Amino acid sequence: MFNPTFTISHAILTDISKIEAVEEVIKHAPLLPLWEKDFREDAIIRSVHHGTHIEGNMLEKSEAEDVLKGRDVMARARDVQEVINYRNVINSIDAIAKEKNPSITEARIHAIHKIIVQNILPPEKAGNYRDKRVVIKNSQTGEITFRPPTPLEVPYLMKEFIQWINRMGSEDIHPILKAGIVHHEFVRIHPYTDGNGRAARILATLVLFIDGYDIRRFFSLEEYYDKDALSYYENLQRASAGDMTAWLEYFTHGAAIEFGRVKDKILRLSKDAKMKDKFGGKQIFLTERQMRIIEYIQDIGYVQNKAFDSLFPDLSEDSILRDIKDLIEKNLVKKIGKTKSARYVLTG
């Protein structure tokens, strides 16, 4: 029976406390729907880029974004396909998490792997456990750093592992710790010929989604791993000896950093926490330009025509005034004065 070994260290407790505080802020921030959409799209782009880049994908973030938006990119076919597949698998786990009683099954994991390696691995290897022994080597030295279980062991280890995932609810173990354990154990078993790292990161994210720790789909843990890939792989390797404490310290710290980054961005866009209350809880749809105008007024206290060039150097004054007129009609902004030196301030 799978029974992970780890200690709840002071570092883990500290980072989980930070994560829980951030979650409360994010869940209750008065974000407008337009920005929620932008946040989710940004998180997907970052997840796709960093989740594939860490394993050798050569596309830049801007190129990965172009691929996701259907634009032509001059790149290796495999790199383009990996990006498309990663986006598709994120969509698939999002759909799973929205089910009434979602669970993680062997068939579901096979399906996730098939999406990840579609048009990359031969069909007979997609969603099927490996039938050969593999070793993990240091890409720089060629040294063998880890020997995963034999092919004969894989089905039994996966069965026990999946049973543990579905048995342990959020009342038994904190979702962040559970996701970290899932991530590591999947990599340790290394059930497939290729795509195990991507599958492990996706599965960990699915665990967070299912256990209600989705942070409104704003986060990308992959970016944290990719920024220091050597540390990521070293921490995975250290835990392979049996004790997962060091890995979970690394994992929870990464989550705390990413969620904190999202929180800071949300608070920057939602400085006026009373805005939503002022309109009876109703959310107001604003364009990106209008949000920038609101942010500017929050920072400076007002905006005047002479500031338009620095705010939007490529737009005409008439275009900006139309945005401001709409803000006035929505009772978010009011005009003080009648000439070009008039000030636009927030209503209050």
pLDDT recorded at residue 185? 96
Residues of the chain with CATH 1.10.3290.10: 10-269
CA distance 154 to 144: 20
pLDDT recorded at residue 92? 96
Class of domain 10-269: mainly alpha
CA distance 109 to 127: 8
Packing angle of the helix pair 245-269, 288-300 (nearest 10 deg): 80
Beta-carbon contacts of 6 under 8 Å, excluding residues fewer than 6 positions away, are 177, 181, 243, 244, 245, 248
Q: What residues pair up with 146 in beta bridges, in sequence order?
A: 136
Tokens of 200: 């492990």
CATH number, domain 275-346: 1.10.10.10
Q: Does position 344 have pLDDT exceeding 80, yes or no?
A: yes
Contact 298, 272 (CB under 8 A): yes
pLDDT recorded at residue 162? 98
**For residue 219, what pLDDT band results from cuts at 50, 70 and 90?**
confident
Nearest to 208 by CA among 254, 269, 265, 268: 254
What percent of the chain stands above pLDDT 90? 62
pLDDT digits (tens, 9 = 90+) for 121-144: 999 999 999 999 988 776 556 777
Q: Does position 343 have pLDDT exceeding 90, yes or no?
A: yes
Residues of the chain with CATH 1.10.10.10: 275-346
**For residue 270, what pLDDT band results from cuts at 50, 70 and 90?**
low
334 φψ region: left (φ > 0), alpha (ψ -120 to 50), beta (else): beta
What percent of the chain stands above pLDDT 70? 91
pLDDT recorded at residue 166? 94
**For residue 215, what pLDDT band results from cuts at 50, 70 and 90?**
confident
